[in-house]
Structure 1
Amino acid sequence: MPVQVGGSKVAEPRARVELSPTAVADKGRASSKKFRRRQKKATSSLSPMQRLFDTSKEVFAGSSPGFVPPPDAVARLSGLLNDLKPQDVGVDSNMTYFKHADSRGPPRVSYLHFYDCPKFSFGIFCLPKSAVIPLHNHPGMTVFSKILFGSMHLKSYDWAKSSPDSNDNALENSDGARLAKVNTDAVFDASAETVVLYPENGGNLHCFTALTPCAVLDVLGPPYDRDDGRDCSYYDESPFLSSCGGDEQYSWLKEVPTNFEMKGTQMPRKFSI
């Protein structure tokens, strides 16, 4: 109720309400939950391509040669990629990229390039049936790979840190080949979760062989950069014969020149940077 002072009405001061520490904490939690709900709603309204760009930008914010994102960041980007569908990124198996147009040569691999910066890049490899991306490396890089559709054989290696043969500790042979340990040798399809490889492990050297037409989305950081010593190298495999047996598999990998080429296509940008 207003009170009269010197002919003027002023509002009666309101009583101060003291909140208990518990009430203050409850109010803070409620505000925090409300903020997270608003944030989640805003994020869910973004297009899949925008979420992919935004998340990749956050995950690779500190990217440099040898950079490994923290586990929670790896899980976040992997989870986003696991949920992506071909239509989210504008590809389907009827596109010409997945057809073997010229039977006189091997099927040609295409790369749909969406974005790159010094921190990271992402795009889609399009492989017709029987197409091969030869064994190659990713120097100093962390790479997320997700099959969007199709089926392929993946074989990957990491450089060996010791020889499995107790009679020979050499990690390089007289031919200049280096010893590498098999990380993965299996068939994957779109039901498989995102494969992540790291600068020193996880299958940093790998090759793809398409068993059906397939599309693979790659997010990697930092990108290849020949001027910075991160060019792509290709390798031939030869057997490593060990006298010790064991379940682990090894091969000699020798860097070789290659005439492998991909057709690159710059895709229209469907997200804001």
Structure 2
Amino acid sequence: MSQLNLLLKQALQTFTCTREMFQQNLEKLMNLMNKTSIDDVRINPVLLSNVIWEKPNKAPATYVHIYEDLNITVGIFVLKPGLLLPLHDHPDMHGLIKVIHGKVKITSYSLNTDNTEIYKNENTEVFSESMTPFIVEKTSEVIVDPSNVCSILYPEHKNIHQVECINGPAAFMDILSPPYDTLNEHGEMRRCNYYKVLNELAPNIFQLQKTESPSTFWTDSAPFIGKLFA
């Protein structure tokens, strides 16, 4: 079985297993993702060249869809040189990111930490529900390339982040669970929300506000040319 198929099989196992087995399966998934390279997935090499990104009206990011069901979504984002993937969230989701080409900087923010509690008040506790500002802590800022292990986000830890492409094009594999556009525990559709930084209240403590997706950011798609479950 190919490395990609082993990864997909373990992702399905991880996000459908019992609570007692989740951490053990998550560690197995992380280990497999750390071993996954660009050689294990087939990407059109044109997407990794500078030529295509110089074309007029080319979207600043291309998404290669690999697999999705009710439990997981798996794909690859290819980013334009210098692109800043806007600050966004993953509501009540787990996510794993593995850079397979190029270099990116991932800046992550967390909700409900011991440090954010100090700054919270009745007007700053709403998350993703309105334009009301809320408080987060910047808990990670890392520069990663294919030699680094995968990054992981949890439902409340590192759940809001931005990704900046450094120098040439970059590509990363993305596993999310549950997928966007699935119902959360309140019966509401799980959407991706975008944010802007209003101000820094203290070192690494920021006030964010929900905003519209920036007009300068959009994605197009490219077909996945590999084989699944072969």
TM-score using structure 2 length: 0.82
Query: Is residue 253 from structure 1 mapped to residue 208 from structure 2 by the alignment?
Result: yes
* 1:100-111 to 2 correspondences below 5 Å: 101-102=53-54, 108-111=60-63
What is the CA deviation profile of residues 225-261 of structure 1, one whole-angstrom value per residue up to 9, with x for unaligned ones?
166421000000122234xxxxx51111110011332
Aligned to 2:8, the other structure's residue is in SS state helix
Q: What's the RMSD between the two structures over aligned residues?
A: 2.8
- Gap regions ≥5 residues in structure 2: 126-130
What is the CA deviation profile of residues 152-202 of structure 1, one whole-angstrom value per residue up to 9, with x for unaligned ones?
111110123455696x5427459721111001122111111111111011x
Tell me the CA shift for residue 60 of structure 1.
1.3
Query: Is residue 155 from structure 1 mapped to residue 112 from structure 2 by the alignment?
Result: no
Equivalent residue letter for 2:28: R
2:41 and 2:226 in contact (8 A); partners too: no
Equivalent residue letter for 2:227: K
1:149 and 1:55 mapped to 2: Cα distance? 23
2:63 and 2:78 in contact (8 A); partners too: yes
CA 1:130–1:103: 2 relative to 1, 3 Å:
farther
Greater C-alpha radius of gyration: 1
Aligned to 1:225, the other structure's residue is in SS state coil
Cross-structure match for 2:194: 234
Cross-structure match for 1:272: 229
Tell me the CA shift for residue 140 of structure 1.
1.1
CA 1:106–1:250: 2 relative to 1, 3 Å:
farther
Work out which of the residue numbers 124, 132, 147 in structure 2 matches 1:176: 132
Cross-structure match for 1:38: none
Cross-structure match for 2:173: 217
TM-score using structure 1 length: 0.70
- Gap regions ≥5 residues in structure 1: 1-45, 243-247
Equivalent residue letter for 2:190: R
Number of equivalent positions: 217
2:170 and 2:180 mapped to 1: Cα distance? 23
Tell me the CA shift for residue 222 of structure 1.
0.6
